[in-house]
């Protein structure tokens, strides 16, 4: 498997690695990249098709404060679009510069194909781990659909294994409401993958809300989804007089043990079972001690 922080095959020869907005290239005081030019910040515009749509406001303010003190040491990567400069890498820094009140911004100007622009934008954000799971999945889908790449080719370009790409793309099978819950952080990708097998959109939303409301673990969700395909167990019918006896015994045991008790008949010669519920390890210990006494 390729290393996570690789730029993808061929991309490291296209651009200087230290103009990418990655964890290794934060605002630094000791080393500044020489820009090709300094341009009016109002002539710089973000790439509308860039995969990242959500920016952490607190992190932007922190970066803006740093820029106010020492300036922008790492220029942004742009492409000349005849009248304005389109950001290829560094929209976060550009936003922070605007917050800091800069009138001009240092840039490195390069010429790229549309596919290279998409690849660089995806790689920059993946390296920073700033894309939410849905943004990342949509970015991979764009490489597949627009440039007719195969999943293993996408995996190589973004330095991920193919299984990661496949699992990411599967999230797009979820209904938009569930996808938004992932974006909002209400569902983890583990929860999301567990409900992908549910084909009915309304049922997907219902289960997703149940997961969030009840704070279900991924394992709990997997068990719940698995149980949906099983027919409910049919209770054996018992005569009314026996049911009255069982109900009375259940109430007596409930008072003694302080928890719900069910007596279930298996039919035949009066066979059955007694179910005693407990709600924690401590509760189980308490019940066991009562039974022992």
Task: Say if residue 247 is in the same domain as residue 223.
Answer: no
3-state secondary structure of 145: helix
Q: Which CATH number fits the domain that encloses residue 18?
A: 3.90.1530.30
Express each pLDDT in 18-43 by its tens digit.
Answer: 444 544 444 444 445 666 788 899 99
Rounded to an integer, what distance in angstroms lies between the CA atom of residue 46 and that of residue 78?
9
For residue 129, the model assigns a pLDDT of: 64
pLDDT interval class at 12 (50, 70, 90): very low
Express each pLDDT in 117-154 by its tens digit.
Answer: 877 777 777 766 667 899 889 888 888 888 888 899 88
* Percent of the chain residues topping a pLDDT of 70: 79
Q: Is 167 exposed, middle or buried (0-12, 13-18, 19+ CB in 10 A)?
A: middle
Task: Say if residue 102 is in the same domain as residue 142.
Answer: yes
Residue after which a domain boundary falls, among 228, 255, 273? 228
Q: Is 53 exposed, middle or buried (0-12, 13-18, 19+ CB in 10 A)?
A: exposed
| Residue 113, domain member (yes or no) | yes
Cross-strand pairs, 153: none
Task: Say if residue 28 is in the same domain as residue 141.
Answer: yes
- The answer on pLDDT for 6 being more than 80 is no
Task: Say if residue 127 is in the same domain as residue 182.
Answer: no
Residue that the structure tokens 């999301």 belong to: 192
| Residue 224, domain member (yes or no) | yes
For residue 181, the model assigns a pLDDT of: 94
| Mean pLDDT of the residues in the chain | 80
Task: Say if residue 262 is in the same domain as residue 128.
Answer: no
Task: Say if residue 189 is in the same domain as residue 267.
Answer: no
| Residue 44, domain member (yes or no) | yes
Express each pLDDT in 79-108 by its tens digit.
Answer: 888 889 998 888 888 999 999 999 999 999
Rounded to an integer, what distance in angstroms lies between the CA atom of residue 210 and that of residue 159?
36
Task: Say if residue 24 is in the same domain as residue 150.
Answer: yes
Mean pLDDT of 198-211: 91
- The answer on pLDDT for 67 being more than 60 is yes
Catalytically annotated residue among 62, 86, 91, 277: 91
- Cα-Cα-Cα-Cα dihedral sign, residues 187, 191, 196, 197: negative
| Residue 234, domain member (yes or no) | no
Task: Say if residue 149 is in the same domain as residue 80.
Answer: yes
Active-site annotation holds for 57: no
Residue after which a domain boundary falls, among 206, 228, 250? 228
Task: Say if residue 26 is in the same domain as residue 143.
Answer: yes
For residue 18, the model assigns a pLDDT of: 47
Rounded to an integer, what distance in angstroms lies between the CA atom of residue 245 and that of residue 242?
5
Number of domains the chain is built from: 3
For residue 207, the model assigns a pLDDT of: 92
| Residue 6, domain member (yes or no) | no
Give the count of beta carbons closer than 10 Å to the beta carbon of residue 73.
19
| Residue 2, domain member (yes or no) | no
For residue 287, the model assigns a pLDDT of: 86
Task: Say if residue 149 is in the same domain as residue 16.
Answer: yes
Which tokens belong to 270? 């009066």
> What are the DSSP E strand ranges found in 151-277?
261-267, 271-276
Rounded to an integer, what distance in angstroms lies between the CA atom of residue 258 and that of residue 256?
6
Task: Say if residue 178 is in the same domain as residue 271.
Answer: no
| Residue 109, domain member (yes or no) | yes
Rounded to an integer, what distance in angstroms lies between the CA atom of residue 88 and that of residue 13?
15
Task: Say if residue 51 is in the same domain as residue 142.
Answer: yes
Task: Give residue 254's domain range.
Answer: 240-292
Helix pair 133-147, 114-128: axis angle to 10 deg: 160
| Residue 1, domain member (yes or no) | no
């Amino acid at each position: 498997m390729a290393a996570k922080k690789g730029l993808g095959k061929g991309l490291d020869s296209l651009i200087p690695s230290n103009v990418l907005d990655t964890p290794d290239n934060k605002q630094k005081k000791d080393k500044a990249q020489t820009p090709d030019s300094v341009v009016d910040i109002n002539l710089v515009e973000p790439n509308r098709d860039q995969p990242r749509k959500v920016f952490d406001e607190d992190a932007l303010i922190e970066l803006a404060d740093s820029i106010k003190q020492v300036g922008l040491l790492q220029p942004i990567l742009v492409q000349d679009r005849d009248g304005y400069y389109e950001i290829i890498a560094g929209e976060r820094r550009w936003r922070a510069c605007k917050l800091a009140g800069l009138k001009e911004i240092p840039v490195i100007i390069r010429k790229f194909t549309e596919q290279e622009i998409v690849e660089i934008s995806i790689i920059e954000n993946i390296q920073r781990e700033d894309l939410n799971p849905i943004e990342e999945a949509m970015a991979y889908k764009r490489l597949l659909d627009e440039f007719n790449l195969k999943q293993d080719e996408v995996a190589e370009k973004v330095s991920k294994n193919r299984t990661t790409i496949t699992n990411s793309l599967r999230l797009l099978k979820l209904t938009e409401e569930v996808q938004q819950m992932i974006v909002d952080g209400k569902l983890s990708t583990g929860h999301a993958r567990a409900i992908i097998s549910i084909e009915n959109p309304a049922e997907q939303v219902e289960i997703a809300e149940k997961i969030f409301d009840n704070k279900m673990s991924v394992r709990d969700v997997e068990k719940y989804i698995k149980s949906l395909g099983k027919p409910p167990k049919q209770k054996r019918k018992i005569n009314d007089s026996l049911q009255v006896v069982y109900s009375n015994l259940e109430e007596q045991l409930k008072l003694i043990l302080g928890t719900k008790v069910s007596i279930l008949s298996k039919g035949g010669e009066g066979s059955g079972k007694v179910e005693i519920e407990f709600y924690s390890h401590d509760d189980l210990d308490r019940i066991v001690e009562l039974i022992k006494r």
